[in-house]
Protein backbone atom coordinates (compact mmCIF):
# COMPACT_ATOMS: atom_id res chain seq x y z
CA UNK A 1 0.00 0.00 0.00
CA UNK A 2 1.32 3.44 -0.88
CA UNK A 3 1.83 5.92 1.92
CA UNK A 4 -0.62 8.33 0.31
CA UNK A 5 -3.50 5.86 0.65
CA UNK A 6 -3.41 6.02 4.44
CA UNK A 7 -5.32 9.28 4.63
CA UNK A 8 -8.12 10.67 2.50
CA UNK A 9 -8.46 14.44 2.28
CA UNK A 10 -11.29 16.50 0.85
CA UNK A 11 -10.95 17.99 -2.60
CA UNK A 12 -11.40 21.75 -2.83
CA UNK A 13 -11.97 23.47 -6.13
CA UNK A 14 -9.64 26.23 -7.18
CA UNK A 15 -12.45 28.77 -7.22
CA UNK A 16 -13.65 27.89 -3.76
CA UNK A 17 -10.17 28.03 -2.25
CA UNK A 18 -9.44 31.35 -3.89
CA UNK A 19 -12.60 32.86 -2.43
CA UNK A 20 -11.94 31.34 0.98
CA UNK A 21 -8.44 32.78 1.12
CA UNK A 22 -9.43 36.14 -0.28
CA UNK A 23 -6.24 36.10 -2.34
CA UNK A 24 -5.64 35.82 -6.09
CA UNK A 25 -5.69 32.32 -7.58
CA UNK A 26 -4.76 31.61 -11.18
CA UNK A 27 -6.02 28.32 -12.61
CA UNK A 28 -5.35 26.76 -15.97
CA UNK A 29 -8.45 24.95 -17.20
CA UNK A 30 -6.77 24.00 -20.48
CA UNK A 31 -3.06 23.80 -21.05
CA UNK A 32 -0.71 25.03 -18.33
CA UNK A 33 1.68 27.88 -19.20
CA UNK A 34 4.31 26.84 -21.73
CA UNK A 35 7.21 27.96 -19.53
CA UNK A 36 5.94 25.94 -16.52
CA UNK A 37 4.04 22.91 -17.87
CA UNK A 38 3.83 21.27 -14.43
CA UNK A 39 1.87 24.19 -12.89
CA UNK A 40 -1.91 23.81 -12.88
CA UNK A 41 -2.64 26.56 -10.35
CA UNK A 42 -0.73 29.54 -8.99
CA UNK A 43 -1.79 31.44 -5.91
CA UNK A 44 -0.63 34.35 -3.80
CA UNK A 45 -1.51 33.19 -0.29
CA UNK A 46 -0.57 36.45 1.41
CA UNK A 47 2.15 39.07 1.72
CA UNK A 48 5.19 39.59 3.91
CA UNK A 49 5.73 42.45 6.32
CA UNK A 50 7.33 44.46 3.52
CA UNK A 51 4.61 43.59 1.03
CA UNK A 52 6.35 40.84 -0.93
CA UNK A 53 3.94 38.18 -2.25
CA UNK A 54 4.06 34.67 -0.81
CA UNK A 55 3.34 32.34 -3.72
CA UNK A 56 2.21 28.72 -3.84
CA UNK A 57 1.92 26.51 -6.90
CA UNK A 58 -0.14 23.37 -7.42
CA UNK A 59 1.32 20.61 -9.55
CA UNK A 60 0.17 17.12 -10.41
CA UNK A 61 -3.32 15.65 -10.34
CA UNK A 62 -6.47 16.01 -8.27
CA UNK A 63 -7.67 12.91 -6.48
CA UNK A 64 -4.13 11.87 -5.60
CA UNK A 65 -2.35 12.18 -2.22
CA UNK A 66 -2.32 15.88 -1.29
CA UNK A 67 1.15 17.05 -0.31
CA UNK A 68 2.64 20.43 0.60
CA UNK A 69 6.35 21.21 0.42
CA UNK A 70 7.62 24.39 2.12
CA UNK A 71 11.04 26.02 1.91
CA UNK A 72 12.81 29.16 3.13
CA UNK A 73 10.84 29.66 6.31
CA UNK A 74 14.16 31.03 7.50
CA UNK A 75 15.64 33.47 5.00
CA UNK A 76 19.21 32.25 5.49
CA UNK A 77 18.21 28.66 4.61
CA UNK A 78 17.39 29.19 0.96
CA UNK A 79 19.21 26.35 -0.78
CA UNK A 80 16.29 23.93 -0.53
CA UNK A 81 14.00 26.21 -2.50
CA UNK A 82 15.85 24.86 -5.54
CA UNK A 83 14.13 21.49 -4.96
CA UNK A 84 10.70 23.08 -5.10
CA UNK A 85 11.61 25.32 -8.05
CA UNK A 86 12.83 22.30 -9.99
CA UNK A 87 9.56 20.48 -9.37
CA UNK A 88 7.57 23.58 -10.36
CA UNK A 89 9.57 24.37 -13.49
CA UNK A 90 10.01 20.86 -14.89
CA UNK A 91 7.79 18.45 -16.77
CA UNK A 92 4.21 17.66 -15.63
CA UNK A 93 3.93 15.50 -12.52
CA UNK A 94 1.69 12.45 -12.13
CA UNK A 95 0.52 10.42 -9.17
CA UNK A 96 0.37 13.21 -6.60
CA UNK A 97 -1.62 16.36 -5.83
CA UNK A 98 1.34 18.53 -4.96
CA UNK A 99 1.57 22.08 -3.66
CA UNK A 100 4.95 23.81 -3.42
CA UNK A 101 5.67 27.00 -1.49
CA UNK A 102 9.29 27.77 -2.43
CA UNK A 103 9.80 31.00 -0.43
CA UNK A 104 7.76 31.37 2.74
CA UNK A 105 9.87 34.22 4.17
CA UNK A 106 10.67 36.49 1.20
CA UNK A 107 11.80 39.41 3.37
CA UNK A 108 14.27 37.21 5.22
CA UNK A 109 15.55 35.80 1.94
CA UNK A 110 16.10 39.30 0.56
CA UNK A 111 18.08 40.22 3.68
CA UNK A 112 19.66 36.75 4.09
CA UNK A 113 18.47 36.63 7.70
CA UNK A 114 16.71 33.91 9.65
CA UNK A 115 13.86 36.18 10.73
CA UNK A 116 11.24 38.23 8.95
CA UNK A 117 11.33 42.04 8.63
CA UNK A 118 9.91 42.41 12.15
CA UNK A 119 12.80 40.36 13.51
CA UNK A 120 10.57 37.37 14.29
CA UNK A 121 11.47 33.72 13.77
CA UNK A 122 8.40 32.54 11.86
CA UNK A 123 8.93 28.98 13.06
CA UNK A 124 8.36 30.11 16.64
CA UNK A 125 5.26 32.23 15.92
CA UNK A 126 2.54 29.59 15.46
CA UNK A 127 -0.15 29.22 18.15
CA UNK A 128 0.86 25.82 19.51
CA UNK A 129 3.06 25.69 22.62
CA UNK A 130 3.92 29.31 21.84
CA UNK A 131 6.26 30.95 24.35
CA UNK A 132 7.75 34.43 24.65
CA UNK A 133 11.24 33.77 23.31
CA UNK A 134 14.03 36.25 22.66
CA UNK A 135 17.33 36.22 20.83
CA UNK A 136 17.83 33.98 17.80
CA UNK A 137 14.38 32.46 18.31
CA UNK A 138 12.44 35.68 18.87
CA UNK A 139 8.83 34.51 18.80
CA UNK A 140 7.07 37.85 18.34
CA UNK A 141 4.76 39.79 20.67
CA UNK A 142 2.11 37.05 20.54
CA UNK A 143 1.27 33.85 18.70
CA UNK A 144 0.26 34.44 15.09
CA UNK A 145 1.39 38.07 15.19
CA UNK A 146 3.10 37.96 11.78
CA UNK A 147 1.37 38.30 8.39
CA UNK A 148 3.41 35.39 7.02
CA UNK A 149 2.18 33.14 9.84
CA UNK A 150 -1.44 34.11 9.34
CA UNK A 151 -1.15 33.57 5.58
CA UNK A 152 0.24 30.06 6.12
CA UNK A 153 -2.48 29.18 8.63
CA UNK A 154 -5.24 30.31 6.25
CA UNK A 155 -3.66 28.36 3.42
CA UNK A 156 -3.30 25.16 5.43
CA UNK A 157 -6.86 25.37 6.71
CA UNK A 158 -8.05 25.69 3.14
CA UNK A 159 -6.06 23.04 1.27
CA UNK A 160 -5.71 20.61 4.25
CA UNK A 161 -2.79 18.54 2.94
CA UNK A 162 -2.33 14.97 4.02
CA UNK A 163 1.45 15.32 4.21
CA UNK A 164 3.81 18.26 4.72
CA UNK A 165 7.58 18.40 4.47
CA UNK A 166 9.12 21.63 5.71
CA UNK A 167 12.67 21.93 4.38
CA UNK A 168 15.36 23.58 6.49
CA UNK A 169 19.12 23.75 6.98
CA UNK A 170 21.72 22.92 8.30
CA UNK A 171 21.06 20.00 10.68
CA UNK A 172 21.18 17.24 8.03
CA UNK A 173 18.43 14.86 9.01
CA UNK A 174 14.72 14.03 9.10
CA UNK A 175 12.79 14.73 12.27
CA UNK A 176 11.67 11.78 14.38
CA UNK A 177 9.77 14.02 16.82
CA UNK A 178 6.62 13.95 14.71
CA UNK A 179 3.18 12.36 14.45
CA UNK A 180 3.93 9.51 12.03
CA UNK A 181 7.10 7.52 12.52
CA UNK A 182 6.34 5.58 9.35
CA UNK A 183 6.31 8.85 7.40
CA UNK A 184 9.57 9.91 9.05
CA UNK A 185 11.27 6.64 8.14
CA UNK A 186 10.07 6.77 4.55
CA UNK A 187 11.17 10.39 4.02
CA UNK A 188 14.59 9.68 5.54
CA UNK A 189 15.01 6.59 3.37
CA UNK A 190 14.00 8.28 0.12
CA UNK A 191 15.99 11.47 0.75
CA UNK A 192 19.00 9.50 1.98
CA UNK A 193 19.13 11.49 5.22
CA UNK A 194 19.58 10.20 8.78
CA UNK A 195 16.71 10.28 11.25
CA UNK A 196 17.24 12.70 14.12
CA UNK A 197 15.22 14.15 16.98
CA UNK A 198 14.76 17.90 16.52
CA UNK A 199 13.09 18.50 19.88
CA UNK A 200 14.84 21.82 20.65
CA UNK A 201 16.21 20.34 23.84
CA UNK A 202 12.72 19.89 25.25
CA UNK A 203 9.72 21.52 23.56
CA UNK A 204 9.86 23.26 20.20
CA UNK A 205 7.65 26.28 20.83
CA UNK A 206 5.41 27.76 18.16
CA UNK A 207 6.51 25.66 15.19
CA UNK A 208 4.49 25.22 12.02
CA UNK A 209 4.78 21.43 12.05
CA UNK A 210 3.72 21.25 15.71
CA UNK A 211 0.68 23.44 15.05
CA UNK A 212 -0.34 21.45 11.98
CA UNK A 213 0.11 18.05 13.65
CA UNK A 214 -2.03 19.22 16.56
CA UNK A 215 -4.80 20.76 14.42
CA UNK A 216 -5.17 18.36 11.48
CA UNK A 217 -5.38 14.68 10.65
CA UNK A 218 -2.39 14.94 8.32
CA UNK A 219 1.26 14.62 9.25
CA UNK A 220 3.97 17.27 8.99
CA UNK A 221 7.68 16.93 9.58
CA UNK A 222 10.96 18.78 9.13
CA UNK A 223 13.69 17.65 6.73
CA UNK A 224 17.05 19.37 7.06
CA UNK A 225 19.95 19.44 4.64
CA UNK A 226 23.47 20.62 5.42
CA UNK A 227 24.78 24.17 5.28
CA UNK A 228 25.93 23.96 1.66
CA UNK A 229 24.15 21.12 -0.15
CA UNK A 230 25.50 20.52 -3.67
CA UNK A 231 23.63 22.32 -6.41
CA UNK A 232 23.22 19.08 -8.36
CA UNK A 233 21.62 17.43 -5.33
CA UNK A 234 19.14 20.29 -4.92
CA UNK A 235 18.23 20.66 -8.60
CA UNK A 236 18.63 17.21 -10.11
CA UNK A 237 18.59 14.47 -7.49
CA UNK A 238 16.40 15.59 -4.59
CA UNK A 239 13.31 16.50 -6.69
CA UNK A 240 13.05 12.92 -7.94
CA UNK A 241 13.70 11.58 -4.45
CA UNK A 242 10.85 13.70 -3.11
CA UNK A 243 8.42 12.39 -5.72
CA UNK A 244 9.45 8.81 -4.95
CA UNK A 245 8.16 9.19 -1.37
CA UNK A 246 4.64 8.93 -2.79
CA UNK A 247 5.44 6.86 -5.86
CA UNK A 248 4.86 9.91 -8.08
CA UNK A 249 6.65 10.58 -11.35
CA UNK A 250 7.14 13.08 -14.15
pTM above 0.75, yes or no: yes
pLDDT score, position 7: 38
Residue 127, strand partner residues? none
Task: Quote the pLDDT of residue 4.
Answer: 45
How far is C-alpha 227 from the chain's CA centre?
19
Give the CATH number, domain containing residue 88: 3.40.630.10
pLDDT for res 177: 86
Complete DSSP assignment for the chain? --GGGG-------HHHHHHHHTS-EEE-SSSPPTT-TTEEEEEEEEE-TTS-EEEEEEEE-TTSPEEEEE--SSTT--TTHHHHHHHHHSS--BS-EEEEES-S-HHHHHHT-SS-TTS--GGG-SSSS-----GGG---SSTT-SHHHHHHHHHHHHH--SEEEEEE-SS-EEE-SSS-HHHHHHHHHHHT--EE---TTS--TT-HHHHHHHHSSSEEEEEE--SS--HHIIIIIHHHHHHHHTT-B-
CA–CA separation, 91 and 202 (whole Å): 42
pLDDT of residue 201: 76
**Per-residue pLDDT at 46:** 97
Q: What is d(CA 40, CA 102) in angstroms, rounded to the nearest whole number? A: 16
Q: How many structural domains compose the chain? A: 1
What range defines the domain where residue 203 resides?
Answer: 26-245
Query: Considering the domain boundaries, does residue 148 fall inside one?
Result: yes
List per-block mean pLDDT (blocks of 10 residues) for the chain, which spans 250 residues: 41 37 56 81 97 97 96 98 97 97 98 98 97 96 98 98 98 94 97 93 90 96 97 98 97
Rounded Cα distance, 84 and 102, in Å: 6
Query: Is 2 inside any structural domain?
Result: no
Examine residue 104 and state whether it is found in any structural domain, yes or no.
yes
Q: Answer yes or no: is 19 within a domain.
A: no
pLDDT at 1: 43
Number of CB atoms found within 10 A of residue 119's CB: 12
pLDDT at position 23 is 52
Amino acid sequence: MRLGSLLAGPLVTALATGLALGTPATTYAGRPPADRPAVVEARTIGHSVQGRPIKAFRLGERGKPKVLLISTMHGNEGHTRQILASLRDGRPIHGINLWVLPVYNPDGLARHTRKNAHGVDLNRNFPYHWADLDGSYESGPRAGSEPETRAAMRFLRTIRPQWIISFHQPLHGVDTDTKSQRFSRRVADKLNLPRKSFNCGGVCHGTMTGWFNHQFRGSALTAEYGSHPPRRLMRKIAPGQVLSIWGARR
